[in-house]
Structure 1
């Protein structure tokens, strides 16, 4: 990450941190973020306030830099931030499209039906949903994974609000911990990898600290989950044609993105966009072969007198890639644009330079990175991590891994600290709340502290410059 625009206007930025424009920009960003944090109560999508805030901040910056005769500097800064966002937007869009395609092909519904139909007791389901959340989130991202597991919990735990509450807390911790050791598990880890700060393989050094971060609070909370059998609620779900092959193409897409970054030293987003072509060609194949496939299956169903199969075949619709693109989490993507542009504006004003000077020069970087994790629980990890990357402090790979870990799992301390927590408060409305999560914060903090200590001990050699 380079900070050329800031270097060019260092003296001007220094003045702007104590100017009316600087104070106004900070106030606008804080107000916008307070509105974001109140999303659950206001029923206002989180992208709206930050998009507005970003526009107002850059209007003020444009006027100030025009008055100073340095419009080219403001333009260079905004183009730099737009490029950062564009790379992440396209990367996330492809990943979300694949997840949406697998969802449309009933891959996740099949997994959900299998868990429900097995007749597990509440404590077994608590562990099963948590462990699956931990291992699925590194591939499918923590938000999607948390929502998937929450859907299972809400079905099997109907009428048992205590189980739903504890299981949701467990899922949030597991999804965030699982997302911390993979570049694909969270937007924060993706940002660090895309910026070229850490190679792909280094993230897996956080695997054991992430396991500890999840297991300690999960074990303590599990003692309060009853071993009672839920009411049986079995339903037949069938995988749609091509579901497993789409999952294989997603793995191939990830491998392509990693290869572009690792072997060709090109942005991984190019590999992801190539992976979108894989899905488009496969979608073309599915559409072209649909009539013959339906005719064959219909003949088999008639021969076997299978009325359910005939009814199911009658509702089959062709696979459409662009329909899947439209199902991407556009509110999250636009929210991320607002955050990138707001933080980029504050960086141009000189505020991130001041914070970096205090936290990463006057403090020990280890303590600074631990504080970043705590801040991510209050503010949300996306703006916090983007601010750290924009500051670009000189740190060892061990410290970059530490801030990746703390920003990822620190969001579990509060329900508002991560996208998965906020989403589950909406999905399990009234049964999983801010206050019900807050009661378990000391237990979650034990996992947070233990994961940091394990990383400091286990990966001690990575802290040398």
Structure 2
């Protein structure tokens, strides 16, 4: 009975996201409310002090995971929000992209940019930078939404080929199930599926768009902070691979350097204005993440994820992997992957590669299924849970193609 009630709270949270436009209740606040209430109920139903200690330990573990992601998001978003406010991202786009381009060509260029960027840096950073591109072009509402969906799919796809791009890829790699050289073949299926989506989305796209002219009112310190940002991304990858330093620690170090550099050239008042701007832009996104992850942690605590691993073992691994990817659109792929790894399924190399692709890309099928989707939903006002659903058939087709190509290539090379 308790489990049914807790699952009902998770469903209500999902409904609050779906019907946000009707209820006018901020999804960040509703998900946070249901996430907190679910853990309060867990404590109240624990009974004896011993059981309460177990729930407390689980909550602390969940909060540690959330805090790590929160701090990482906060540091990344601070960099991107600052550079965006100073027009640095727009200037970079004007250097990389032509000032006037057809909408169809822009689709393909944005898809490639997001795909490659997400392979070399984390999904959060890749999403924020890629969404920053959209602000530089004068796009109509529907096209901006379509571009955002394309970015979500491209970012999630690009991340599967390298351990620097996706947490689930890193988890499977650290478990000793795949090698770096084996992971690299996933880039081809990822690229093909992303290009297919870009082509499908561009079929009805007509006309040309121009970049918004940017007044170059930035200072030398802004260029220096941009260099610190990109140096932090490179250092994050290098230090994680060489010394196992968690990405959040490297990014917080980079953020502290940014603040020190900024403080030497700006007054305290200007510094407060920058921090206030960042708070206004990013706080809802962070609260939304907090609520979602509290709910996922609760589902993990009551054994819902363990139940999924039992179902996984009942079928052929190739089918189970495909369905698991679809399931990761509803449940966060990190705890889902962790639960599967804990179950220690006996899989061969092609099957592990199939799982890596599916849990990395499958979250794109729903806007709440991945970190990039949640960020995009909070950044692009045209993108809502309901409006995203119209793109599910095209996303499912491209996901299926990518998964099929993954199996074909991996069995041909390692089968």
CA deviation profile, 1:335-389 (whole Å, cap 9, x unmatched): 3333333232332322222221112x21233322321322344x3x6x3443332
Q: Which residue of 1 aligns with 2:133?
A: 149
The structural deviation recorded for 1:444 is: 3.3
Say if 2:313 is the partner of 1:387.
no
List gaps (5 residues or longer) in structure 2.
Answer: none
List gaps (5 residues or longer) in structure 1.
Answer: 1-19, 291-315
- Take 2:58 and 2:378, find their aligned partners in 1: how far apart are those partners? 37
The structural deviation recorded for 1:58 is: 2.0
- Take 2:62 and 2:149, find their aligned partners in 1: how far apart are those partners? 35
Change (3 A) 1:333 1:458: farther
Say if 2:327 is the partner of 1:375.
yes
The structural deviation recorded for 1:218 is: 1.6
Cα RMSD, aligned residues only: 4.0
The structural deviation recorded for 1:33 is: 1.7
- Take 2:46 and 2:115, find their aligned partners in 1: how far apart are those partners? 47
The structural deviation recorded for 1:215 is: 0.6
Change (3 A) 1:230 1:344: closer
Q: 1:391-406 maps to which residues of 2 (within 5 A)?
A: 392-395=342-345, 402-406=354-358
CA deviation profile, 1:208-252 (whole Å, cap 9, x unmatched): 2221121112223333333x3457964544544234432332233
The structural deviation recorded for 1:36 is: 2.1
Q: Which residue of 1 aligns with 2:399?
A: 448
- With normalisation by structure 2, the TM-score equals 0.79
- Take 1:200 and 1:253, find their aligned partners in 2: how far apart are those partners? 26
- Take 2:393 and 2:129, find their aligned partners in 1: how far apart are those partners? 24
- Take 1:205 and 1:342, find their aligned partners in 2: how far apart are those partners? 34
Count of aligned residue pairs for this structure pair: 406
CA deviation profile, 1:30-73 (whole Å, cap 9, x unmatched): 11122123334433332322322232222222233233742222
- Take 1:276 and 1:434, find their aligned partners in 2: how far apart are those partners? 32
Say if 2:154 is the partner of 1:174.
yes
The structural deviation recorded for 1:97 is: 1.8
Change (3 A) 1:447 1:92: same
Q: 1:239-318 maps to which residues of 2 (within 5 A)?
A: 239-287=218-266
Q: Which residue of 2 aligns with 1:343?
A: 296
- Take 1:320 and 1:194, find their aligned partners in 2: how far apart are those partners? 39
Higher Cα Rg, which structure: 1
Change (3 A) 1:143 1:73: same
SS in 1 for 2:344: coil
Q: Which residue of 2 aligns with 1:214?
A: 194
SS in 2 for 1:70: helix
- Take 1:197 and 1:367, find their aligned partners in 2: how far apart are those partners? 22
Decide which of 16, 26, 41 is 2:7's aligned counterpart.
26
Checking the alignment, whether the CA contact within 8 Å between 2:62 and 2:294 is kept in structure 1 is yes
Change (3 A) 1:169 1:52: closer
